[in-house]
Structure 1
Amino acid sequence: MNVSNLALQRAKRQLESFCVERSCPGDTLTCLLENDSLLLANNEQALVRLQLDGARWRIFWRRDKGQWEPWPHLPVCDDMQQVIEQLDQAPLHVHWSG
């Protein structure tokens, strides 16, 4: 397994914990692996995309019309824990319940 696959798997485990803590009955937050990206989805609708670019994560959120835009508060980061903290502070937690 190469370094980027290891980084993706490690980040996926961290994000899965994040999702479990923020899910509730009828409103499930999940982490999906898609190519070189991790998707955070609420009830199977992708909301946030984390794309591995070398050793850094590029963070995107999905607009109403489906296009992906850089996360305004932290578009690039090399520390997954910092990414999780940023997601946890999303304004009004608009992307997930809990």
Structure 2
Amino acid sequence: MTAFPQGTYNRWHSHKTGQILIATDGIGYTQTLGGAVQVMHPGDVVYCPPGVIHWHGAAPGSHFAHIAISPEDNHDVTWYFFPKLEYEKLGF
């Protein structure tokens, strides 16, 4: 399980084998590069396909926790350093 304090998030990244996120607490956001922001509530499940660049974290006014599952290798993550501008549009 991964927990994000209020308004925190991870950097853009991708997983070689994809990733499944299961929201467990609070309100979270996730977004694929070029896609719309998706709000996550407890019980929501989001699938990010292999190699798709994305980020996830807590909404500005909420903490957030989720279970993250990668089908084969959870350690095969590629991190990207994009401008913070994308996050700032969301109020971070």
Structures share fold, TM-score greater than 0.5 = no
Higher helix share: 1
Q: What's the TM-score, normalizing by structure 2?
A: 0.30
Higher strand share: 2
Higher relative contact order (CA 8 A, sep 6+): 2
Q: What's the TM-score, normalizing by structure 1?
A: 0.28
